[in-house]
Structure 1
């Protein structure tokens, strides 16, 4: 049993074998802001931890003695199927989910006017306004504090089984709000060289500690925009519309305390929150392939989220540069609307498609539209970089919804709302499906060897030219799953086409790879279908959904593509797989 509210100096507690004194780093003093509650995290055995609040955050039930808490739950299983436990420690009152009981006997309370009580050995003190991570280690506990968002966070990890990216961080105040996530199409869980900093395949948008949004204010007409105070001022944002060499309209933007702004683009400068590069179709190992000239704008677009419920997210074309300015040159498409405000389009444009019915099993693809700098919706131009804009679509808005697609002319992003992600499968669920398929021991109908999908960590190590012995292969014309064999070539067929020994159908013969990016799944069904011709496997409804989505390609073409590798789909776009069960 874990120890809750027990002082390690108590002889009865000292004899309790479940209490482990800290022999590692110690907190010199309780980490506590003025007037904030003090949370004590009791580190007991690996996988067991409790917390108690003292100095103001009293739980429901009043003071005095409190009932003994329930025994700790068994250790959870992480995304890799390994043992361990991660338990969130959430402060606040009430008996709702995530709350923890205070120490027995009322806990540690600061005397009026006296100093804050010190935590006993083996206890980590966490103050609101700081961030702390307590980890189990053979040498005791380790505590780390920091964070700029003003949110007190804490997580506990049992044993060295969890990496830092897998540890759960739980907010102790209401400032940690997730707006949604942007997922780049064409990557199966991570970039080929790994996710690093702002360059990654998946980007989460959280509520900032201070509002970062801006809104339009005054309008100036100048002859030389560089000399305008609205443009040269480092404290103000502005958008410049160059009408001629002697006339420029400058719209000044001021701070908006009700919104947060996030910027996406190819530039690695500090104003860009999410750095994206051109997606190479069907090439997960893009070290050998380099883009000679990118078509993605350095400051492609910006997403503005409301800081208050329901946390609506809106998209706008173009992003502010390091000088907090947006310049639309003389050749860019721009105009003055009937209400008098200026607007324009970027060179290659920002396209958005909202699915009909949300991002669910019954969703249908919507119509691709172009978003202007001010967020209005227009029909597509004749070509991607044409000078004349399309027609204004008055009954549509720039509000992003779950499943909205954003195309930046070189990379396509999928927007997932926080609520949509709660109802979507996770990496753990996909890993469980993979283990379930492997547990069924599918066999090659010819060689009778057992087949197995590689793990999510192994899939990046195994190259398509050097597949493992148990790697499943399939004939995409019929769907029969086999092990690898180097025979069945037809002289009158292409190099990658062979004749299936089960049904004599001639078609492509490719290895199967499990789709590991959970954000692309529309349901939690078993992986039974494969995209053609790449061989990525996912659920039936997910495969059929993406098979009907026309994705922009180049400057004016559209075609369906695999979301896991961006390969253009051919034939029927997807095929149902036929597995051979074990003979015994």
Structure 2
């Protein structure tokens, strides 16, 4: 009889999870749930920088550019409970038992501290990493800068951890989201080997860092027109905030920052050493432009029929689906001289015989790069709903002035020790004095 009741419980749990999965699928496809009972609370979204709204080889399953965090049908969060020395039978049993979550800190060949985690009915847990194993909710691969093709996205040696980090969200208001380094594997374990950076905290509990670390940056002034870049910090396995190590894999941890926390704010950046994610809260997403709004702005520019000063042909920004494709309408594609901002159509005027392929602008004689313009189509990267009047250099992605100004002063991690500003739509390192240029059309659109 007991076995029969347990089976019913398991079937009930499976039904809840199936309902949740079905809802998430319909929401991501833009469909509205057929019943209010099936509507799940949306905590927020994680968006990968460097992709202009979609992967070049298509969005597939858990591998995509955007991951929406919904309130789960049943809580799956865990919290630390007791710790054991690995020599004891109890510690070995916890690590071997897949129904228990644990974090193992190897101090030496003869000593390992195992921290047991127990179920937390008040939180939902979401895991991010490179692994495609079931515990990972959002599969992230290394970001390749530039206008990418499927072939470009093949990375020989990834620097992203297989189980990079986890986000724990409170199921009750105010639905606070917190980030922790490292994620639980298929056996529900986290292992910090002998070489990993780890230490004993003042309360005698253990903590540690992953090999290349998980970095976070909270923008100052909120994620809006007045936002400024914050300071990059490293988050530990237990959620502590530390100053950066000299290099990502350095064994010496940074200084503990007592007055900062691992709570995610709207606009918080999360760097996994190979890919950077942007956290947008549910409330913050209400203030951002939508795909429809961006499309209306594109149509508004095209409706004004801007012309090329040389060919006198009408220019038009391509639709989102055709933005990276070569079409027969190449003559209508807007181009810009990055050193002056004058917008033209595609032409052969003013070519210079140098390795950079620079051109001389026919309007002002300024010599510099000459690149096509494309709309920035990922709404989550916009800090306001302003018109698309500026373009990033040297990639030519177009967005609002405030959005360009914000991202141009954000130092994004690059490799294990470098930082540089990059276009959020393609991850190309910005160049020039400002990193962006104001667009000047012949008929003064956007001036």
1:487 is matched with 349
- Deviation, 1:446, is 1.0
Contact 1:267/1:298 (CA < 8 Å) preserved in 2? yes
Distance in 2 between residues matched to 1:220 and 1:502, nearest whole Å: 74
Distance in 2 between residues matched to 1:398 and 1:368, nearest whole Å: 12
Residue 319 in 1 paired to residue 197 in 2?
A: no
Residue 341 in 1 paired to residue 205 in 2?
A: yes
Distance in 1 between residues matched to 2:58 and 2:22, nearest whole Å: 28
Which of 215, 231, 244 matches 1:367? 231
Contact 1:302/1:315 (CA < 8 Å) preserved in 2? yes
Residue 167 in 1 paired to residue 38 in 2?
A: no
Contact 2:42/2:70 (CA < 8 Å) preserved in 1? yes
Which of 349, 357, 362 matches 2:221? 357
- Deviation, 1:291, is 1.1
Kindly tell me: are residues 412 and 371 of structure 1, through their superposed partners in 2, closer, same or farther at Cα, counting changes over 3 Å?
same
Residue 389 in 1 paired to residue 253 in 2?
A: yes
- Deviation, 1:487, is 2.9
- Deviation, 1:269, is 0.3
Distance in 2 between residues matched to 1:205 and 1:246, nearest whole Å: 41
2:159 is matched with 295
Distance in 1 between residues matched to 2:49 and 2:399, nearest whole Å: 15
Partner of 2:330, secondary structure, is coil
- Deviation, 1:228, is 0.5
Distance in 1 between residues matched to 2:28 and 2:71, nearest whole Å: 21
Kindly tell me: are residues 182 and 152 of structure 1, through their superposed partners in 2, closer, same or farther at Cα, counting changes over 3 Å?
closer
Distance in 1 between residues matched to 2:329 and 2:319, nearest whole Å: 13
The answer to which structure, 1 or 2, has the higher relative contact order (CA under 8 A, 6+ apart) is 2
Residue 578 in 1 paired to residue 446 in 2?
A: no
Residue 512 in 1 paired to residue 376 in 2?
A: no
Contact 1:175/1:207 (CA < 8 Å) preserved in 2? no
Which of 293, 304, 307 matches 2:171? 307
Kindly tell me: are residues 150 and 331 of structure 1, through their superposed partners in 2, closer, same or farther at Cα, counting changes over 3 Å?
closer
Distance in 1 between residues matched to 2:417 and 2:88, nearest whole Å: 36
Distance in 1 between residues matched to 2:52 and 2:381, nearest whole Å: 9
Contact 2:33/2:39 (CA < 8 Å) preserved in 1? no
2:3 is matched with none
Distance in 1 between residues matched to 2:136 and 2:24, nearest whole Å: 26
Which of 510, 531, 545 matches 2:406? 545
Q: TM-score, normalized by length of structure 2? A: 0.92
Kindly tell me: are residues 198 and 152 of structure 1, through their superposed partners in 2, closer, same or farther at Cα, counting changes over 3 Å?
closer
Partner of 1:549, secondary structure, is coil
Which structure 1 segments of 5+ residues have no match? 1-128, 132-145, 156-162
- Deviation, 1:338, is 0.6
2:19 is matched with 148
Contact 1:151/1:171 (CA < 8 Å) preserved in 2? no
1:218 is matched with 82
Q: Relative to total residues, which structure has the larger helix share, 1 or 2?
A: 2
Distance in 2 between residues matched to 1:214 and 1:164, nearest whole Å: 27
1:564 is matched with 425
Q: TM-score, normalized by length of structure 1? A: 0.71
- Deviation, 1:456, is 1.1
Partner of 1:228, secondary structure, is helix
Q: Where in structure 1 do 4 or more consecutive aligned residues deviate above 4 Å?
A: 150-155, 224-227
- Deviation, 1:469, is 2.1
Contact 1:154/1:169 (CA < 8 Å) preserved in 2? no
Name the Cα RMSD after superposition: 2.3
Kindly tell me: are residues 313 and 225 of structure 1, through their superposed partners in 2, closer, same or farther at Cα, counting changes over 3 Å?
farther
Distance in 2 between residues matched to 1:506 and 1:154, nearest whole Å: 50
Contact 2:84/2:113 (CA < 8 Å) preserved in 1? yes
Distance in 1 between residues matched to 2:25 and 2:135, nearest whole Å: 29
* Equivalent residue pairs, number: 429
Kindly tell me: are residues 335 and 411 of structure 1, through their superposed partners in 2, closer, same or farther at Cα, counting changes over 3 Å?
same
Distance in 2 between residues matched to 1:488 and 1:225, nearest whole Å: 78
Distance in 1 between residues matched to 2:170 and 2:157, nearest whole Å: 35
- Deviation, 1:486, is 1.9
Contact 1:214/1:255 (CA < 8 Å) preserved in 2? yes
CA deviations over 1:7-63 (Å, ceiling 9, x no partner): xxxxxxxxxxxxxxxxxxxxxxxxxxxxxxxxxxxxxxxxxxxxxxxxxxxxxxxxx
CA deviations over 1:525-552 (Å, ceiling 9, x no partner): 1100000000000000000010000000
Which structure 2 segments of 5+ residues have no match? 1-12
Which of 313, 316, 335 matches 1:473? 335
- Deviation, 1:410, is 0.1
Kindly tell me: are residues 313 and 469 of structure 1, through their superposed partners in 2, closer, same or farther at Cα, counting changes over 3 Å?
same
- Deviation, 1:460, is 4.2
- Deviation, 1:490, is 1.9
Which of 295, 299, 303 matches 1:431? 295
- Deviation, 1:284, is 1.6
CA deviations over 1:453-511 (Å, ceiling 9, x no partner): 00112224348xx87221000000000000001231123x4432110000000010000
Contact 2:358/2:367 (CA < 8 Å) preserved in 1? yes
Which of 268, 273, 283 matches 2:132? 268
Kindly tell me: are residues 175 and 487 of structure 1, through their superposed partners in 2, closer, same or farther at Cα, counting changes over 3 Å?
closer
Distance in 1 between residues matched to 2:90 and 2:397, nearest whole Å: 52
Contact 1:449/1:483 (CA < 8 Å) preserved in 2? yes
Distance in 2 between residues matched to 1:508 and 1:331, nearest whole Å: 47
Distance in 2 between residues matched to 1:225 and 1:505, nearest whole Å: 75
Kindly tell me: are residues 561 and 299 of structure 1, through their superposed partners in 2, closer, same or farther at Cα, counting changes over 3 Å?
same
